[in-house]
Amino acid sequence: MSQIVIITGVGKRLGFKLAQTLLQQGYDVVGTYRTEYTKLAELRELGAQLHQVDFYQQEQVDNFIALLSQRYPTIRAIIHNASDWMQDPVCKDDAQASAAEVMQKMMAIHVAVPYQINLASQDQLRKNGHADIIHIGDYVAEKGSKKHIAYAASKAAMNNLTLSFASLLAPEVKVNSISPALLKFNPDDGDAYKEKALAKALLPREAGFDEIIDGVQLLLNSRFMTGRNLQFDGGRHLK
């Protein structure tokens, strides 16, 4: 079987750590990134094939999909990790264009791009015999958000992609989602913000990248799970 794993958004945080881990385990990682980071050299040294793609530019999306078709006759897995976290604009009449742009971008990166890649790659996945698509979602899709309405809506739509593609691609390809909450704080997050975020869960701590990577590996190893959403939320739904 092919060991080619496509991972979108490997430039930092979870995407970087996931790519690094799978490379060390012997997978052939093909990654995308939008911004060049110095640390990407570490992935290249491990053998990653990296491509700079701006998923907000349809021409670049089309070129990347064509590249996948030309270079990789079979694919072991596609992990849709690329994401953006745009806050909604203030709801005023003069902000409507900006509001439209926010929604368009959130739906593009979290829904339209995975949709296109999944459809275009379905034969390459099926030919592998045992293949996976994993959408990296967000717990906020279950609850909504007052300040990130477009983001939450797009992540909910991503979860629905999981259901549809699981039905379309079975039995050769399993399709699942992973939805973390409070994955990992950023270095510039203040103490007040951290305290408030931690208080939302029964388990008041970060999930951490390793927790999600373990979830990815569970799905890759599974032979009997499809159309499901793994929730790593610390028990937020019970608070």
- Answer with the residue of higher pLDDT: 113 or 92: 113
| Cα torsion 177, 9, 152, 66: sign | negative
- Determine the pLDDT at residue 194: 86
Task: Return the CATH number at 154.
Answer: 3.40.50.720
Domain that holds residue 96: 4-184+207-231
122 assigned to some structural domain:
yes
Q: Which residues are catalytic?
A: 151
Tell me: the pLDDT tens digits for 193-213? 888 888 998 999 988 999 999
Percent of residues, the chain, with pLDDT higher than 90: 82
Q: Give the number of C-alpha atoms closer than 13 A to the C-alpha of residue 228, restricted to the C-beta side.
A: 13
Identify the CA nearest to 122 among candidates 64, 72, 157: 72
On the question of pLDDT at 96 being above 70, the answer is: no
Sheet holding 77-80: strands in order across? 49-52, 28-33, 4-7, 77-80, 131-136, 173-180, 229-232
* Structural domain total, the chain: 1
28 assigned to some structural domain:
yes
Tell me: the pLDDT tens digits for 147-158? 899 999 999 999
Q: What is the pTM of this model?
A: 0.94
- Determine the pLDDT at residue 188: 84
